[in-house]
Chain A
């Protein structure tokens, strides 16, 4: 009878293989922390709950396991919201646990009470309010199942303090089987798959469009096989970057607003697009009616609601992507596609010659130098803004989960805490986060966490004293009427700040950074490298608002 609800919770977490939790305690969540003390689960105390959610997200993205975070009721819970939304948009499996006021106070506007289930309803796959300690085991197991099944996503479990503190007899604990069922095959699965294969075989100018779903389904090897066999050129969405890493000439880059010109052009010219685990977000498609106007669209996704949501799919299959790719692998014909690949090659060479492939200014070579100085298997995390696009365009993904970016929600402040989670999940890999000064300031308090646990991440902060991407937009599309974008970071000494937190640091200028990169690469602990960048160092090409993917511009127009 000495078992409490919290004990059952912690035991279930262990059964689920959880060894790492990011969190921040408060009165309502104390029974859980108290119970964790007796367990082997490591709790990392962050300095703001938003960072706990991002760290759990980073952990999950890097490892493929379910990330777990824990906060107290009220403000602790609401501080998680941005992190939950980020995970939801990019389909990261998370179990988010929140303390809650005691059940007799629910709905009474009690101290630190908030309806976190109501607040997070549109940004969670599912949520639970636990009101009987006997249910905790079943609920938590189901929460993990839901988080990782189908299209993954965050699940919230709200845990009132009295339920956690109540002693209960383990014999009374219910063991209700999880309601998550294996994905049922869509009707006419075989015919649908065959139709896609036949069209792909017949297509003269096919392109695969790779979304984040391929990595989530652990289907990268199957995809690589398909590409080789069919000589299929492919483009990625931002979330799909890194799915296929072989340097085989089929990779055209990523599409959309900040994507590669070649990728956007070839998609426009193609006659058949097979989208795999991609949801045609507005960032990828720009003007939908002008997206791939000549192409038959086929779409494979585990989530039926993604099919035809934005662009009508002429052919579709709701299916686990790995299963679908295994099937396609045997159905598609070996081809050499000389004509189509030749055309792509000419387009690529023309762009290489005019230097249009890399217009990240001095940031491009800098990022490549950082990658060259770090071990082969390093993992790069981006924040949001210019730093994100520079990194995605310049860092060469060498493994599927080696580039991590908050693509859907575009959350500034994601990078630093997510990198902590990535490092916890992959302790043997070097982890480097590229952030701008804006995003860095949004979760700068995590320097304390990093210092406290000596998390050996490399922190690159591009300091241009501005919201750089917003500056670029004002410059190009608002008549250079700059306003509300100066961060004044030039007067803030980031190196001293880092050192104040006990973190080694150095400052370099972006085009003269070799010494700083060397110092960072050889440091064994956490290291912050402030990189001074001129605010005019933008990213090109870019698609003006309201224009289609082939209307990319390479500089100021008009």
Chain B
């Protein structure tokens, strides 16, 4: 199978050094981490790592087996798009001027974004949605003079409980 975006969810013990070990496995196998989210779960002693990698179909098998060997890794799951809810958030920083003010405002309302800070004509916009949605907004904003962006990377959850 060809190269495609693959989302892996890794539940780990919430302890120092664990992320370095997990990242080390990706690096040693030659895979780049495109995005990474790490935060504690409903049980504070466990963290959920959600990562995206562009990789072939061998990837899941190889990474899963290697990660499972780590003492602090509890569970590794591939999240397939249909069966998981996915969200990403982006903060976009942009300086408003006579030329772009209107278009920025339109884009914000068109995509249901939120202006969360405005200081001396410097505006910070919050965008949340699927990866495609936030990328569409970024592409709309780009020609308007985006100064910088920060992305959370994709967060994902299996759609069903267990």
Our verdict on whether A and B bind, yes or no, reads yes
Residues of A within 8 A of B (CB): 117-118, 121-122, 125-127, 129, 146, 179-180, 303-305, 307-309
Kindly name the residue among B16, B17, B20 whose own CB sees the greatest number of chain A CB atoms within 10 A: B17
A residues within 8 A CB of B21? 121
Cβ contact of B24, chosen from A122, A125, A303, cutoff 8 A: A122
Task: Pick the residue among B17, B20, B24, B65 that contacts A304 (CB under 8 A).
Answer: B65
- Answer yes or no: B132 CB below 8 A from chain A CBs: no
Q: Interface size for chain B: under 10, 10 to 19, 20 to 34, or 35 or more residues?
A: 10 to 19
Partner of A122, one of B28, B61, B65, B72: B28
Contact check: which of A117, A125, A146 meets B17 at CB < 8 Å? A117
Report Cα–Cα, A121/B71, bound state, in Å: 12
- How far is the CB of B112 from the nearest CB of chain A, in Å? 44
B162 at the interface (CB under 8 A from A): no
- B18 CB → nearest A CB, Å: 11
Known: A129-B17, A146-B71, A308-B61. 14 other contacts (CB 8 A): A121-B20, A121-B21, A121-B24, A122-B24, A125-B69, A126-B70, A126-B71, A126-B72, A127-B17, A129-B16, A179-B71, A304-B69, A305-B66, A307-B65
| B64-90 contact mask (Cβ, 8 Å, vs A): 1 or 0 | 011011111000000000000000000
Given contacts A118-B20, A121-B20, A122-B28, contact A305 B71 (CB under 8 A): no
Q: How far is the CB of B114 from the nearest CB of chain A, in Å?
A: 39
Measured between alpha carbons, how far is A180 from B69 in the docked complex, in Å?
11
A280 to chain B: closest CB distance in Å? 15
Complex Cα–Cα for A305 and B69 (A): 8
Could you mark each residue 42-73 of chain B with 1 if its beta carbon is under 8 Å from any beta carbon of chain A, else 0?
00000000000000000001100110111110
B65: min CB distance to chain A, Å: 4
CA distance A309 to B61 in the complex (A): 9
Task: List A contacts of B70 (CB < 8 A).
Answer: 126
Q: Mark B10-51, 1 if CB is under 8 A from A, else 0.
A: 000000110011001000100000000000000000000000
- Nearest to B69 among chain A residues (CB) is A305
Main secondary structure on A side of the interface with B:
mixed
Nearest to A126 among chain B residues (CB) is B71
Q: Which residues of A contact B61 (CB under 8 A)?
A: 308
Q: How far is the CB of B148 from chain A (nearest CB, A)?
A: 30
Q: Which residues of A contact B71 (CB under 8 A)?
A: 125-126, 146, 179-180
6 contacts across the A-B interface (CB closer than 8 A): A118-B20, A122-B24, A125-B71, A305-B62, A305-B69, A308-B61
Expressed in whole angstroms, the minimum distance between the Cβ of A365 and any Cβ of chain B is 44
- Is the Cβ of A303 less than 8 Å from the Cβ of B28? no
CB within 8 Å for A304 and B28 given contacts A117-B17, A121-B20, A121-B21: no
Find chain A residues with CB under 8 A from B65 CB: 304-305, 307, 309
A303 vs B66: C-alpha distance in the bound complex, in angstroms? 10
Name the distance in Å between A277's Cβ and chain B's nearest Cβ: 16
CB proximity of A511 to chain B, nearest CB, Å: 47
> Which single residue of chain B is at the shortest CB-CB distance from A146?
B71
A62, B16: Cα distance in complex, Å: 35
Among B20, B62, B70, B71, the most chain A Cβ lie within 10 Å of the Cβ of B71
Bound: A125/B66 CA distance, A = 11
Q: How far is the CA of A179 from the CA of B46 in the complex (A)?
A: 14
Query: In angstroms, how far is the closest chain B Cβ from the Cβ of A93?
Result: 14
Q: Which residues of chain A come closer than 8 Å to B17, judged between CB atoms?
A: 117, 127, 129
Docked CA distance A234–B93 (Å): 67
CA distance A305 to B65 in the complex (A): 5
Name the residue among B62, B65, B68 with the largest chain A CB count within 10 angstroms: B65
**Who on chain A is nearest to B20 by CB?**
A121
List of B residues within 8 angstroms of A125 by Cβ = 69, 71
With the chains together, A126 CA to B61 CA distance in Å? 22
| Residues on the B chain within 8 Å of A303, using CB | 69
Residues of chain B contacted by A129 (CB below 8 angstroms): 16-17
Bound form: Cα–Cα A121–B17 in Å: 10
A127 contacts across to B, CB distance below 8 A: 17
User: In angstroms, how far is the closest chain A Cβ from the Cβ of B23?
Assistant: 10
- When distances are taken between beta carbons in the complex, the residues of chain A under 8 Å from B28 are 122
A425 to B152, CA, bound (A): 54
- The smallest C-beta distance from A318 to any residue of chain B, in angstroms, reads 9
List residues of chain A with CB within 8 A of the CB of B68. Answer: 304-305
Instruction: Enumerate chain B residues within 8 angstroms of A117, measured Cβ to Cβ.
Output: 17
**In the complex, A303→B68 CA distance in Å?**
10
